Amino acid sequence: MALLLGIDAGTTSLKTGVFDDMGAQLAVAGEEYALHTPDALRAELDPEAYWRALRSTVARALERAGARPADVTALAVSSQGETVIPVGRDDSVNGPALVWLDNRAGDEALELARRFDGPTVYAATGVPAIVPTWTACKLLWWKRHAPGLFHSAARFLLVEDFLLQRLTGRYVTEGGVQCTSLLYDIRDHRWWQPMLDYLELTPDRLPELATPGAVVGTLRAEATTALGLPRSVAVVAGGMDQGAGAVGVGNIRPGIVSESTGGALTLQASVDRPDGDPSRQTPVYVHSAPGRYLYCPVCPTGGMALTWFRDQFGEREVELARRQGRSAYELLTDLAATVPPAAEGLTMLPHLMGAFSPEYDPNARGVFFGFTLRHQKAHFARAILEAVAFMLRRNLELLATAGASTAEVHSHGGGARSRLWNQIKADVCNLPVVTMEGEDAAIRGDAILAGVATGAFADLDEACAAMVVARERFAPDPTTREAYEAAYARYRALFEALRPIFATAAPADGGQQARQ
């Protein structure tokens, strides 16, 4: 039996899935890594954590599948975008990975926004607003504040690039993961030279460009030893996790909208061209499906808001989950289910690391509003679930104005495991929510891309027909409509009321560390 591996490096965990050549998922293994967040603006990680997690999850996923490593014929890697890693001339890591959530480059983002006008940036990169998240801003921060690191680094890699190099020995990337770096021209599929010139960055300090879904090599000797896989395994560039995830739920042509609630909340709408939104508000990504693009609104802390709540206030649920062999998330959502829709007036803004689409306000922060002596832990858990649903609705409305409306939403990511969360999303958005077999769509999308690239399937249509299976459909409950309309209006009004305060409030560290 020929086996395909899908590997996705997300914000807080890396997952590997094992699939047979008929498309069936045999096993999945994941490994979390903890971000280093020394202040309100910084988010870093030791890049070696990605490689350790890949090695560990490949071994455990194959063991769980009862599969022989010798039967693996191809693997594909996708990852989060924007996170940047400096490497030296000897392939060693030169510094920490600045994770996409890192907001230290606020001044640099303002500098780039002054230098490059919005319409030009959007036309070239598909990015609606320059914010500290984008890779170019982080590189400029290094250049300004850590010039030794900036000038000594031989190359700057994104996470997918870093793992592809560890696997094949080749420094290679593709437009799917580079499209939000501010370094890549999504129209001409080459480096955006005006930005490189401004950063004084030459193309030889970036990876070689390939095409999403392309075979970029086979395993080098060191990777063969580390993974126990054959040297002949084909390695495929899967793209950003958003593009791979869209492929994994069959979102490969216009007319389909999907959403993923993982660490972040993201939406994906397949489109044929990058210039379809005259308002220039909708982020445009390069799709992992060759020749297509994605409208891809992103909200940084979707599921991560629930993770924060679990870690800070869910000690009892974590302990119960350990004893009962369940998930702490499941216990928290069980608790939330005891509270009526709209959480009896408790409203959350889930912007724990700034707001992205459609507000684009890196100064935004998390808020709980309207709680009284009546409100209990269960209310706060439900308010988090509802806040993510409100973000989803905001961005579905944005997509509709850009010509990408939908009659239903395909849901994936860890949040799709929760039937309550799926129902809340359906009720808030007044649209059916459809979940798929296996919520980890990015690793399925990677396996689909690996299978197509190596001939296991004739094309994406055949692969998606074999591997993408709907599981459950959640229809909106009309009895919740009135409560959620009022709660959604309150959510929007609360953000607008606080926007001036967000703009003037100082970071928790007084801003000093971010300037060092």
Instruction: Assess if residue 244 is contained within a domain.
Output: yes
Tokens of 390: 């409100």
Instruction: Assess if residue 57 is contained within a domain.
Output: yes
Which domain range does residue 82 map to?
A: 3-248
- The end-to-end CA distance of the chain, in Å, is 55
Classified as helix, coil or strand, 33 is coil
Residue 170 burial (CB count, 10 A):
16
In one-letter notation, the amino acid at residue 236 is: V
Alpha helices in 315-418 (DSSP H): 315-324, 328-336, 377-401
Distance CA 115, CA 107 (A): 12
Q: Exposure pattern of 135-165 as b/e (b: 16+ CB <10 Å)?
A: bbbbbbbbbebeeeebeebebbbbbbbbbbb
Tokens of 88: 């030296």
Percent of the chain topping pLDDT 90:
81
Mean pLDDT of 29-42: 90
For residue 511, what pLDDT is reported?
A: 39
Distance CA 329, CA 261 (A): 13
- Please give the angle made by the CA atoms of 168, 173 and 177, to the nearest 5 degrees: 130
Q: Residue 509's pLDDT band (boundaries 50, 70, 90)?
A: very low
Is the pLDDT reported for residue 412 higher than 90? Answer: no
Sign of the torsion formed by the C-alpha atoms of 368, 265, 137 and 93: positive
pLDDT in tens, 177-204: 999 999 999 999 999 999 999 999 999 9
Residue 200 burial (CB count, 10 A):
11
Percent of the chain topping pLDDT 70:
98
Residues ≥6 apart with Cβ < 8 Å to 117:
none
Instruction: Assess if residue 390 is contained within a domain.
Output: no
Mean pLDDT of 366-387: 97
Tokens of 195: 């930005």
Assign residue 12 the CATH number of its domain.
3.30.420.40
Distance CA 228, CA 124 (A): 42
Q: Residue 506's pLDDT band (boundaries 50, 70, 90)?
A: low
Q: Residue 439's pLDDT band (boundaries 50, 70, 90)?
A: confident
Nearest to 212 by CA among 180, 253, 178, 256: 178
Distance CA 281, CA 398 (A): 8
Number of domains in the chain: 1
Is the pLDDT reported for residue 516 higher than 80? Answer: no
For residue 278, what pLDDT is reported?
A: 86
CA dihedral 313, 318, 321, 327 (to 10 degrees): 80
Distance CA 377, CA 366 (A): 17
- In sequence order, the β-bridge partners of residue 412 are 260
Mean pLDDT of 204-228: 96
Residues ≥6 apart with Cβ < 8 Å to 199:
136, 139, 140, 143
For residue 214, what pLDDT is reported?
A: 96
8-state DSSP, 66: T
Per the prediction, the chain carries an average pLDDT of 93
Instruction: Assess if residue 435 is contained within a domain.
Output: no
Instruction: Assess if residue 55 is contained within a domain.
Output: yes
Q: Exposure pattern of 392-410 as b/e (b: 16+ CB <10 Å)?
A: bbbbbebbeebebebebbb
Residue with tokens 């094309």: 459
Residue 32 burial (CB count, 10 A):
12
Distance CA 276, CA 94 (A): 40
For residue 515, what pLDDT is reported?
A: 32
Tokens of 153: 């680094």
pTM of the model: 0.83
Mean pLDDT of 407-431: 94
Instruction: Assess if residue 117 is contained within a domain.
Output: yes
Instruction: Assess if residue 295 is contained within a domain.
Output: no
What is the Rg, in whole angstroms, of the alpha carbon atoms belonging to the chain? 22
For residue 308, what pLDDT is reported?
A: 94
For residue 39, what pLDDT is reported?
A: 86
By mean pLDDT, which of 160-169, 270-279, 390-399, 453-462 is the weakest? 270-279
Nearest to 208 by CA among 262, 266, 165, 163: 165
Is the pLDDT reported for residue 77 higher than 90? Answer: yes
Instruction: Assess if residue 376 is contained within a domain.
Output: no
Mean pLDDT of 284-299: 93
For residue 507, what pLDDT is reported?
A: 56
Residues ≥6 apart with Cβ < 8 Å to 501:
none
